[in-house]
Structure 1
Amino acid sequence: MTTLSKAKNGDWFARKAIPPDLRDDYQRAYGVRQEARFRAPSSLSPNQAKAEFAAWVSEIETRLSTMRASLAGQEQQLTHRQTHALVGRWYDWFIAQHADKQPVEVWDHLFEQYQSALEAFGIDENDEREPPAWYRPRIAAKVTEISRLPSFLAELGMNLDRGSQAALLDTLEPNLVAAMSLLRRQAGGDYTPDAHRGRFPVEAVSVPSNVKLAGMSAWQAFEAWVKERKPATATVNRWRVVFLDLDAFLDGRDIAYMTDDDAIRWKDKLTSTKAGGRTINEVWLTAARTVFNWVKRQKKLTTNPLDGVKVAVARSGPTKGKFQEEDAETILRATTIPLGPLTSRQFKASVRWVPWLCAYTGARSGEMTQLRKQDIEQHRDGFWLLHITPDAGTVKGAMPRTVVLHSHLIEQGFLHFVQSAKAGPLFFDPKAAKADREIDPLNPPRPPYVLMRQKLADWVRKLGVTDPGVGPNHGWRHTFRRRAARAKIEERIRDAFCGHTDPKVARRYELPDIEELAEAINEFPRYPVDTL
């Protein structure tokens, strides 16, 4: 008995064994041999999960019974959903058979044949009355001829019972008109995305038996990639929803069965149901392409169907902006206002110092919320250094760097705060990480410094800095570079503070030393905010 349960990461999960005598055929059709797996995100309510689970069980059992009937030479009976899914498969087959092969005139001629058949039997397509009984078999013959339905079913090895055949033709007829219309548009040079295809259920397609399997579904590929590459927690949390969605789209099939057409259909589905084109390109498609390329390097895939797939996005200006002068001053001025007595000590410290540290170093806010007491030290020449290192947390590119503290920070008492702090993190409680907790690598909890970074972002938004084009934390990096440029600080030194790299080989030999950074930060203008 297949039961619905919760996986370790909170997702809904179930398994159903494939009978031994059907495993070879099931694997050829659906890319799975031992068992079919159901997975749904933890965000679904119990009732929603149960409904999706019931539909999944019904679909698997129907597949198995249909497969047994086919092997026994019996006629197959289709459910309503299977009928529409089969028409979807026919639609893809018919388009593939004729794409870029027939001129506009051919499709005009075929459509006229269909129209002539309707008119010959006195059928008015605008008449909502039920057509006479003799209408169906005569028109069905013309639909069968144009659609080449017998050839399609023969390729699949399907033998349908009479009722399923009639339902299939009834369902196929309006879609034949849509398919001919699409092919006519394409023959005329109009390749507008096909919105009609999205009306069909997503269904696994039959594939040649000689396809070399990768041995993993989309979710299993992501799981294997995470295990080997050990990406940052933020990456795992952002990408896991991508592979839950892709795995569901592919119906848990082996990724070797994903075709170029599947990739385009998934992209079109995302375009209609998910975020904007830029997010789809930079997160969804990049995540899937990256993992599939990794699988390809493991010699488990011969091609990556996602290569070159992207959403057309209109050109626009930069998506991440800098603070306006009044925004920066509003934030820095607010850091000096005492917070309520119920506010945690760590959050008070973060509000007081992290914005100032970002403002005077050009660092990312997460690089500052993960800062530790030992990361602050004095140089032999007297100035103070701040080390940004992967040992403390995530640093982009895992490249450590050292910056020099601005005198305005020291005057405000930052060093006194550091020296009076306990060893370890300055802006979060290390006990919050719960080291004894078992961590699911595919659904890892966000580190405390990331949670603190987000709390700071929420705090900034509440101050009235609400421009969606300016990140509440990231805006400091752009602001630092702008102010440094106004102060005539060299670009290579601005890069060194912010951790930016230059692809030019010559620039690699021009990295500034600590003394140059100390001299440059003395030229960086103070923010005109009274901190007393």
Structure 2
Amino acid sequence: MPLAMSRPFKHPKTGIYWLRKRVPDELIKLVGKREELRTLGTKDPALAKVKHAAALAEIEAKWANLRSGEKSLTEREAHHLAAPFYDRWLQRYLENPSQQTDWRVDLGLRLFQPSLISANYEFLYNNADIVLDRDELRVREMERWCLEWADSCASNLGHRLAGNDNRILARAIGAAVQRASIALQQLAQGVSAAVPIAASSSPIFASLHSQEPFAFSDLVDGWAKERRPVEKTLYEWSRVVKQLVAFLKHDNARALTGDDMVRWKEAMLTEGLRPKTIQDAKLAPVRAILQWGVANKKLNSNVADGISLDTRSKQNEKKRSFTDEEAKIVLTAAMASSDPVKRWVPWIGAYSGARVSEICQLRREDVVEIDGIWCIKIMPEAGSVKTAGSERIIPVHPALDKSGFLKFALQKKAGPIFPELSPDKFGKRGGNGTKVIGRFVRQLGITDPRISPSHSWRHRMKTLGRRHGLAKDILEAMTGHGSKSVADAYGEFPVEALYRELCKVPQLNVGVAK
């Protein structure tokens, strides 16, 4: 009995028609699943038949390519496969061509040219004299996009490319996007340009709606399993994704569009969220997770790419340092407090420039004597640090010593020196410490919103460093700011050198504890 012809089937709950086709046994390992399942995106039975026929033809063509084995690609064939990328890029920005800023036309001709920068950045370790060129890094990023798009293109079409052919396809894709970007540049200037638009979507850019659903939670789980973020990051990023899902009112990552991301961004602006919060705490996590999905063939493209907003603060919104007078007010009040947190956290911040989270998680064993100089160690064993450069040693400033900090710290038993601060669900004391210090400083009458009760000490340390001529590399080493060039990462920072520079910061006249 002949098998029934594959036909659209209606989803029992949504009424939307779907395609379902069993993968031939010999192709299951190559396809990675036993069944092709994709939505046709319509409830109209007549339209569903048309879409079903087109989707079925794409699948059969893909399977035919897979059966043909490894393929050697000519440049002509690569440009043919890359042609739809021109159409797609053009369509994406056609209505507002000036908004195309992701692809740097001025750098397009530098793609896939010999470079000091290799894909795995080995140059960082082999050449101490190279200062990173932002344009060169941007070129490498554009090349990475092209290579990932080439992977996705070949995978979608069932091509198993031989040897270096993926790079040939990536170069062709880069050329297509370059041409489209030049056309958009001309259109943005009011110059007529030849802009042929594909009449219908290519299989390479088949709508994400035509693939089986992929839950955002599965995307986050896959990203987390591979990247292994710290617990707090996983919690916060998962929460952001859940907020996006609530806004979308669906949980299909493959149905997410660039327009959805723009609408979400605009909704958050309407709610009153600060642009920097939206950019760094909302869009950036989603963009990173989607990029993992693209790199691991879960998604066709990262629709969050290029969606951003201006986060530059207005002059009257920029955070600033404590002035000498403000610093005296806070430190004098701190000396009079019986609360160890209020007493010592501002003083440590004032004479070290350490982050409040780093100060609040200090342990007795982090206060050590090195080469005759008492120091504070900022170590991941005490709690997570912001970056690799955040792990460091800071000498105890003479003013901090005279104030009685060493006597306070050295009498503590092993463990946190601020046990009064309750750790949060992730074991961190910094959040509660920030709240305590925030209320304390504001109650002293320092209400300028440009002052951050805890973080303005870091601003002040950089200001004092410039005022009193501290060596820039040593100041950055003490504050835990990253090096700007490969050469900066060479050698060590002797404690005596750190102490010599730190002592250039003068002690404020606020009295000394007896």
Partner of 1:118: none
Residue 270 of structure 1 aligns to a residue whose secondary structure is: helix
**Does residue 425 in structure 1 map to residue 424 in structure 2?**
no
Partner of 1:292: 290
Unpaired runs of 5+ residues, structure 1, are 1-18, 30-66, 74-95, 102-186, 191-206, 340-347, 435-443
Query: Quick one: structure 1 residues 315 and 395, their matched pair in 2 at CA, closer, same or farther if it must change by over 3 Å?
Result: closer
Who wins on radius of gyration, i.e. which is larger? Answer: 1
Q: Deviations over 1:413-458 (max 9, x none)?
A: 212112211210001259x559xxxxxxxxx556234322322222
User: Aligned partners of 2:432, 2:228: CA distance in 1, in Å?
Assistant: 20
Query: Quick one: structure 1 residues 312 and 523, their matched pair in 2 at CA, closer, same or farther if it must change by over 3 Å?
Result: closer
Unpaired runs of 5+ residues, structure 2, are 1-8, 20-41, 48-90, 97-186, 191-205
Are 2:17 and 2:45, in contact at CA under 8 Å, matched by a contact in 1? no
Q: Which amino acid aligns with 1:244?
A: K
Residue 396 of structure 1 aligns to a residue whose secondary structure is: coil
Residue 524 of structure 1: how far off its partner (Å): 2.0
Residue 523 of structure 1 aligns to a residue whose secondary structure is: coil
Q: Which amino acid aligns with 2:393?
A: T
Q: Which amino acid aligns with 2:210?
A: V
Q: Which amino acid aligns with 1:287?
A: P
User: Aligned partners of 2:222, 2:328: CA distance in 1, in Å?
Assistant: 47
Residue 515 of structure 1: how far off its partner (Å): 1.7
Are 2:213 and 2:253, in contact at CA under 8 Å, matched by a contact in 1? yes
Residue 335 of structure 1 aligns to a residue whose secondary structure is: helix
Give the one of 406, 425, 430 matched to 1:415: 406
Residue 512 of structure 2 aligns to a residue whose secondary structure is: coil
Counterparts of 1:118-133 in structure 2, within 5 Å, are none
Partner of 1:325: 324
User: Aligned partners of 2:335, 2:189: CA distance in 1, in Å?
Assistant: 63
Q: Which amino acid aligns with 1:478?
A: H
Residue 216 of structure 1: how far off its partner (Å): 1.9
User: Aligned partners of 1:433, 1:223: CA distance in 2, in Å?
Assistant: 26
User: Aligned partners of 2:243, 2:353: CA distance in 1, in Å?
Assistant: 36
Partner of 2:136: none
Residue 503 of structure 2 aligns to a residue whose secondary structure is: helix
- Identity fraction in percent: 29
Are 2:209 and 2:255, in contact at CA under 8 Å, matched by a contact in 1? no
**Does residue 505 in structure 1 map to residue 486 in structure 2?**
yes
Partner of 1:279: 277
Q: Which amino acid aligns with 1:260?
A: G
Query: Quick one: structure 1 residues 457 and 28, their matched pair in 2 at CA, closer, same or farther if it must change by over 3 Å?
Result: farther
Are 1:372 and 1:392, in contact at CA under 8 Å, matched by a contact in 2? yes
User: Aligned partners of 1:267, 1:313: CA distance in 2, in Å?
Assistant: 13
Counterparts of 1:24-423 in structure 2, within 5 Å, are 211-213=210-212, 215-217=214-216, 219-236=217-234, 238-312=236-310, 316-317=314-315, 319-339=318-338, 348-380=339-371, 382-399=372-389, 400-423=391-414
| 268-277 or 281-290: bigger deviation | 268-277
User: Aligned partners of 1:313, 1:273: CA distance in 2, in Å?
Assistant: 16
Q: Which amino acid aligns with 1:458?
A: R
User: Aligned partners of 1:425, 1:450: CA distance in 2, in Å?
Assistant: 15
User: Aligned partners of 1:352, 1:315: CA distance in 2, in Å?
Assistant: 32
Partner of 2:475: 494
**CA RMSD of superposed structures (Å):** 3.6
Q: Which amino acid aligns with 1:288?
A: V
Q: Which amino acid aligns with 2:503?
A: N
Are 1:427 and 1:449, in contact at CA under 8 Å, matched by a contact in 2? no
Give the one of 487, 490, 495 matched to 1:514: 495
Q: TM-score, normalised by structure 2?
A: 0.57
Are 1:212 and 1:256, in contact at CA under 8 Å, matched by a contact in 2? yes
Query: Quick one: structure 1 residues 20 and 455, their matched pair in 2 at CA, closer, same or farther if it must change by over 3 Å?
Result: farther
Counterparts of 1:451-466 in structure 2, within 5 Å, are 451-466=432-447
Q: TM-score, normalised by structure 1?
A: 0.56
User: Aligned partners of 1:358, 1:367: CA distance in 2, in Å?
Assistant: 10
Q: Deviations over 1:325-359 (max 9, x none)?
A: 222111111111134xxxxxxxx211111111111
Query: Quick one: structure 1 residues 487 and 251, their matched pair in 2 at CA, closer, same or farther if it must change by over 3 Å?
Result: same
Runs of at least 4 residues off by over 4 Å: 23-29, 69-73, 187-190, 207-210, 312-315
Give the one of 428, 433, 457 matched to 1:447: 428
Residue 508 of structure 1: how far off its partner (Å): 2.0
User: Aligned partners of 1:492, 1:242: CA distance in 2, in Å?
Assistant: 36
User: Aligned partners of 2:258, 2:385: CA distance in 1, in Å?
Assistant: 36
User: Aligned partners of 1:488, 1:314: CA distance in 2, in Å?
Assistant: 28
- How many residue pairs were aligned? 334
Residue 303 of structure 1: how far off its partner (Å): 0.6
Query: Quick one: structure 1 residues 26 and 331, their matched pair in 2 at CA, closer, same or farther if it must change by over 3 Å?
Result: farther
Are 1:496 and 1:511, in contact at CA under 8 Å, matched by a contact in 2? no
Give the one of 432, 438, 457 matched to 1:476: 457
